[in-house]
Amino acid sequence: MRAWASGKLILLGEHAVVHGEPAIAFSVSLGMTVTLDRLPNPSAPNALGDLTDDALLRAAVATALGPTGWRVTFQTDLPLGRGMGSSAALSTALIRARREALGLPPGTIDEQFAEALAVETVFHANPSGLDVAVSVRGGILHYRRTSPPTFRALPLPPWQVVVLDTGKAGSTKALVAGVTARRPAIDPLLQRIGQLVPAAEAHLHDPKLLGALLHENQCLLRGIGVSTAEVDALCDLATAAGAYGAKLSGAGGGGVVLALVDDPAPVLRAAARAGVPAWTCRPVEAP
Ligand code: PMV
């Protein structure tokens, strides 16, 4: 049994979304595939393979499948731990594969969201649910961590982004905990990030105005202490090469930068000259 789920990029609102502000994120065509096979002995511990077996992963798989009886294989074309939602994609693919393996219906979006969020919580302790919502639903979403969380599909915009990879993984759990510990001093910055979201929704099809909002979001992310010198340098590289705006995506502490562009070629060339891995992505609906 095999299931796939997509990764994501956050257009605006990471970290602030954990604390109740809105955010916008979109699904990308890169994702995670999970394959499940029954073990001959149903009470044998799940087999995760030498390369991928670690305690957190084992606990997440146990949350989705129970502790025994399955061989679980993972394949990914998402860079791991770089703010592209690999753990949410893994969580969603796991619960989808489980439903298929047990002959259950795929479940509603809300059911898949609740099941995948329980798995994602093992990885990140206090996830907003944004990544899981995008992985489950696809497309581009306005999301708010209300009780229950609310997500609303937005019309797919025409632009694409260039993704530039610092090559460094940040720990979402540690970065989210760090931001939480800096509250309430940084609350005005989190609130300002939240205010950028309705403005971005209003200008979603206007890359120039949207780019300015991305730039302000990146300045605020720097202000709350989650950017790095490498991330800032990649944002500068992209805007110097003609991007409308650039910011980190996800928890920060490294990870990827997304740069909003009309024509990706100059930013891709600048990245290649600097030896920085870069590629294009656009928002996609669920397959
Ligand atoms: O780095 P990622 O892909 O796990 O994204 C984290 C996004 C945060 O807003 C920082 C946390 C969250 O749960 O929304």
Q: Is the pLDDT of residue 120 over 70?
A: yes
Residue 9: which residues within 8 A CB-CB, separation 6 or more? 25, 26, 28, 83, 84, 85, 161, 163, 249, 256, 258, 281
Query: 35: exposed, middle or buried (C-beta count within 10 Å: 0-12, 13-18, 19+)?
Result: middle
Position 285 scores a pLDDT of 92
Query: 229: exposed, middle or buried (C-beta count within 10 Å: 0-12, 13-18, 19+)?
Result: exposed
Ligand 1 atom closest to residue 81's alpha carbon, by position in its atom list: 1
Distance 122 CA to ligand 1 centre (A): 14
Distance 250 CA to ligand 1 centre (A): 5
Q: Is the pLDDT of residue 149 over 70?
A: yes
Give the residue, 90 or 53, on which the prediction is more confident. Answer: 90
- Nearest protein Cα to ligand 1, atom 14: 128
Tens digit of each residue's pLDDT (9 = 90 or more) over 122-144: 988 889 999 999 999 999 999 99
Per DSSP, what are the bridge partners of residue 154? Answer: 140
Tens digit of each residue's pLDDT (9 = 90 or more) over 20-39: 999 999 999 999 999 999 99
Local confidence band at 89 (pLDDT 50, 70, 90 cut-offs): very high
Distance 142 CA to ligand 1 centre (A): 15
Exposure class string for 47-60: b at 16+ Cβ within 10 A, else e = ebeeeeeeeebbeb
Local confidence band at 53 (pLDDT 50, 70, 90 cut-offs): low
Ligand 1 atom closest to residue 7's alpha carbon, by position in its atom list: 3
Tens digit of each residue's pLDDT (9 = 90 or more) over 246-255: 999 999 999 9
Position 213 scores a pLDDT of 98
Distance 18 CA to ligand 1 centre (A): 8
Ligand 1 atom closest to residue 130's alpha carbon, by position in its atom list: 14
Say if strands 256-261 and 245-248 run parallel, antiparallel, or are unpaired.
antiparallel
Average pLDDT, the chain: 95
Position 235 scores a pLDDT of 98
Position 51 scores a pLDDT of 59
The pick from 6, 10, 179, 256 for probing ligand 1's pocket by mutation, whose C-beta has the most ligand atoms within 8 angstroms, reads 10
